[in-house]
């Protein structure tokens, strides 16, 4: 049986930690990386004090599902999520099977492109803010009179910078061309829109709206591949289709219970994040599990 203990933080002595994000730890194995997804959860950009049981394993498996699903459209960095293969790739990982199992992905190390490839099928978040003040997102003129969360006629590509600290800044397609060059721009845009469109159609047929999403790409030798995580609720907005109602913000498929709970608190949305009551954590776990089952058609 796989380890079901909630894991918020861990340490693999002797293996360099390349990066610790809000949710994942990335270890540097030389020409490969090891992504380990914790059970941490963030809301309003702040990490909560406790985790969501199984969230790490679920997110890892959702990403793996999409990498497999999309592999005919674009190459990706995934090597394996199989714990035996992961451990045999690097003997330093041997003592950490129970911490790593299910929540880890071995990937090809790439040189990340300096942009985030965001695709929006619905108008929400920073896109909605930009539209309200300028009528545009990333320099793309949109029709007048759109309501918050409206579906766009066609998905749009709205890149942003990849800031090391603070928030990413939306840039225009022309600015992205200046950064990565015309050919790479066209490639990233075409692939991003294609992957998003396929995923959205698939998820939509099962009751999950993928409102928007963020992809990252990287270079391995001369090839550009999809890296990072893909089409998880952490990198995308998942909305329950049955509650979809344009004209306001939407329920989050996965984090709604957390957000609703946080709104009842007198908390100023700065760290440290509060402790989520067990009931909220459990209900949230069920949402992640549900997303996993709906998308993959499998039990965890």
Ligand X SMILES: Nc1ncnc2c1ncn2[C@@H]1O[C@H](COP(=O)(O)OP(=O)(O)OP(=O)(O)O)[C@@H](O)[C@H]1O
Contact between 21 and ligand X by CB under 6 A: the answer reads yes
Tokens of 146: 């759109």
Q: What's phi and psi for 148, nearest 5 deg?
A: -55, 135
Contact between 281 and ligand X by CB under 6 A: the answer reads no
Per-residue x/- track, 22-51, ligand X (CB under 6 A)? xxx-x------x------------------
Task: Rank residues 142 and 195 by Cβ distance to ligand X and give the closer one.
Answer: 195
209 strand-pairing partners? 239
Task: Rank residues 78 and 123 by Cβ distance to ligand X and give the closer one.
Answer: 78
Contact between 71 and ligand X by CB under 6 A: the answer reads no
Size of the site for ligand X (CB under 6 A): 17
Tokens 């890149």, residue? 159
Which part of the chain contacts ligand X (CB under 6 A), choosing from 21-29, 83-91, 184-192, 255-263? Answer: 21-29
Buried-exposed string 277-291: b where 16+ CB fall within 10 A, e elsewhere = eeebbebbbebbbbb
Residues counted in the chain: 300
Q: How far is CA 269 from CA 45, 63, 129, 266, in A?
A: 8, 28, 20, 9
Contact between 107 and ligand X by CB under 6 A: the answer reads yes
In the chain, which ranges are E strands? Answer: 17-20, 24-28, 32-37, 42-43, 46-47, 78-80, 104-108, 111-112, 115-122, 136-137, 140-141, 151-157, 160-161, 208-220, 223-227, 236-240
Quote the least distance from Cβ 150 to ligand X, whole Å.
Answer: 27
Quote the least distance from Cβ 214 to ligand X, whole Å.
Answer: 9
Residues in region 118-157 near ligand X by CB under 6 A: none
Which part of the chain contacts ligand X (CB under 6 A), choosing from 58-66, 103-111, 193-201, 265-273? Answer: 103-111
Q: Which residue is nearest to ligand X (CB)?
A: 21
Contact between 259 and ligand X by CB under 6 A: the answer reads no
Quote the least distance from Cβ 226 to ligand X, whole Å.
Answer: 9
Quote the least distance from Cβ 230 to ligand X, whole Å.
Answer: 10
Contact 2, 103 (CB under 8 A): no
Instruction: List all residues 6 or more positions away from 181 whose beta carbon is below 8 Å from its beta carbon.
Output: none
What is the Cα 194 distance to its own chain's centre? 17
Task: Rank residues 55 and 77 by Cβ distance to ligand X and give the closer one.
Answer: 77
CA-nearest of 83, 92, 104 to 229 is 104
Residues in region 211-250 near ligand X by CB under 6 A: 216, 218, 227-228
Binder of ligand X out of 109, 129, 219, 283 (CB under 6 A):
109
Which part of the chain contacts ligand X (CB under 6 A), choosing from 95-103, 109-117, 237-245, 290-298? Answer: 109-117
CA-nearest of 239, 41, 203 to 123 is 239
**Could you give the CA distance from residue 126 to residue 20 in angstroms, rounded to a whole number?**
25
Residues that bind ligand X (CB under 6 A): 19, 21-24, 26, 33, 77, 107-110, 112, 216, 218, 227-228
């Amino acid at each position: 049986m796989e380890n079901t203990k909630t894991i918020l933080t861990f340490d693999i002595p002797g293996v360099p930690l390349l990066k610790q994000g809000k949710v994942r730890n990335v270890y540097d194995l030389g020409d490969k990386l090891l992504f380990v997804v914790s059970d941490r959860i963030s809301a309003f950009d702040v990490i909560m004090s406790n985790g969501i049981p199984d969230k790490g394993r679920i997110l890892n498996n959702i990403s793996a599902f999409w990498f497999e699903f999309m592999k005919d459209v674009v190459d990706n960095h995934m090597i394996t999520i199989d714990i035996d293969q992961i451990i045999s790739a690097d003997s330093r990982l041997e003592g950490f099977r129970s911490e790593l199992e299910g929540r880890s992905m071995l990937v090809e190390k790439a040189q990340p492109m300096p942009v985030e490839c965001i695709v929006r099928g619905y108008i929400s978040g920073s896109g909605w803010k930009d539209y309200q003040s300028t009528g545009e997102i990333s320099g793309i003129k949109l029709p007048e009179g759109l309501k918050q969360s409206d579906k766009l006629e066609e998905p749009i590509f709205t890149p942003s910078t990849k800031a090391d600290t603070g928030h990413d800044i939306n840039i225009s397609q022309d600015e992205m061309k200046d950064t990565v060059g015309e050919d790479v721009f066209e490639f990233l845009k075409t692939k991003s829109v294609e992957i998003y469109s396929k995923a959205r159609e698939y998820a939509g047929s099962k009751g999950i709206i993928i409102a928007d999403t963020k992809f990252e790409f990287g270079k391995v030798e001369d090839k550009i591949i999809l890296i990072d995580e893909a089409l998880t609720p952490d990198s995308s907005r998942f909305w329950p289709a049955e509650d979809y109602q344009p004209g306001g913000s939407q329920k989050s498929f996965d984090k709604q219970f957390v957000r609703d709970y946080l709104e009842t608190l007198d908390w100023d949305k700065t760290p440290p994040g509060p402790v989520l009551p067990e009931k909220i954590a459990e209900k949230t776990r069920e949402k992640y599990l549900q997303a996993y089952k709906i998308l993959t058609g499998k039990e965890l």
